[in-house]
Structure formats: C-alpha cells, structure tokens
C-alpha cells in the first residue's frame, strides 16, 4: 500500500466513510483529482480488501480500512512526540519528520517507542494516542488539518 493510498483512506474516513459510502465526486474534491481518478483509487482500495464499492453510491470502509487509519494517526503522533522528547525537536519539525517517517518506521520500533515512552507522551490534541477516533474529534488534530488543509 502506498502513502497516497493511505491518504485516500484517511480522506474517506474523515467523511465518515466507515458508516456511509463516500462517492467519487465527494472524494475527488477533497483530493483535488478528477472524479474518474477518485473512482479508480476507490476500486483499488476495494481490491486491497479495505472496503466495498457500492455502485452509484461510493466506497464504504471496512474494519481493516478503519484500522489502518487509526494506526496511522496513532503512529504519527507517537513518533512525533518521541522526536520532541528524545531529540529535542520543536513541534513543527517533529510533525514534519513524523509525516515523512511514519510509514517507514517498522512495527517493532513503534512497539518499542509505545512501550518505553508512552507514559511520558501526550498528544497535542489530547486524543490521538488512544483509538478509536471519531472524525469530528479529529478536526482538532494538527496533522489532519495540515494534511487536508482544514
């Protein structure tokens, strides 16, 4: 799965696409792509087993798709705070680095960071280290606002 795939899944999730289908036109607007491009990506996500595309309605994420979004959010914030606390990076620098590194850091390393540092870490928005999330809550998340220009 590419980082671009993950961004599409996050965009669908933020539109409550785990409760209702999100149509290609709706997604195209958020992702600044054509409707056809959004439809192709939705079909790709469906083929990866992350949701179901309902004809004339859109894609609805399944549990696996939701799990990916929640894990991405948790990973970003955990890594971000680790970089701040361990390496003394300021907030913006740690957020940028976490965005670049998040999908490249192994699960084993993330588990170690979580195990050894979690008790010392607090997310800036106060909720990002403990899924499940509600899309409305994530409107306050700096990473989501930066990623989707909200």
So what's the pLDDT on residue 99?
87
Q: Where are the domains of the chain?
A: 3-61, 70-148
Residue 58: phi and psi, rounded to 5, are 135, -170
**∠3-53-17 over CA atoms, to 5°?**
65
CB atoms under 10 Å from CB of 30, counted, come to 19
Residue 84: both structure tokens together: 């701040």
So what's the pLDDT on residue 126?
59
Q: What is the pLDDT of residues 82-129, one digit of tens each?
A: 898 889 999 889 988 998 888 889 999 999 988 887 666 566 665 565
H or E segment and range at residue 21: none
Q: What is the pLDDT of residues 6-63, one digit of tens each?
A: 999 999 998 999 999 999 999 999 899 999 999 999 999 999 999 999 999 999 999 9
* Listed residue (132, 128, 129) closest to 140, CA to CA: 128
Distance CA 70, CA 85 (A): 23
- 26 in Cβ contact with 88 (< 8 Å): no
Q: Which CATH number is correct for 70-148, 3.40.50, 2.60.40, 1.20.1730, 1.10.60? A: 1.10.60
Q: 145 falls in which pLDDT band (50, 70, 90)?
A: confident
CB atoms under 10 Å from CB of 22, counted, come to 25
Q: Which fold has domain 3-61?
A: Arc Repressor Mutant, subunit A (1.10.10)
Predicted TM-score (pTM) of the model is 0.82
CB-facing half-sphere around the CA of 65: CA atoms within 13 A = 28
Distance CA 64, CA 14 (A): 15
């Amino acid at each position: 799965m590419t980082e671009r795939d993950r961004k599409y899944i996050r965009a669908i999730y933020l539109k409550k696409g785990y409760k209702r289908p999100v149509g290609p036109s709706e997604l195209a607007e958020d992702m600044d792509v054509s409707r056809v491009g959004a439809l192709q990506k939705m079909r790709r996500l469906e083929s990866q087993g992350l949701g179901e595309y309902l004809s004339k309605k859109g894609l609805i994420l399944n549990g696996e798709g939701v799990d990916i979004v929640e894990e991405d959010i948790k990973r970003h914030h955990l890594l971000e705070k680790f970089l701040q606390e361990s390496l003394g990076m300021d907030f913006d620098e740690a957020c940028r680095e976490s965005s670049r590194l998040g999908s490249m850091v192994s699960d084993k390393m993330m588990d170690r960071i979580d195990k050894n540092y979690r008790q010392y870490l607090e997310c800036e928005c106060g909720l990002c280290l403990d899924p499940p999330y509600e899309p409305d809550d994530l409107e306050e998340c700096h990473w989501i606002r930066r990623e989707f220009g909200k």
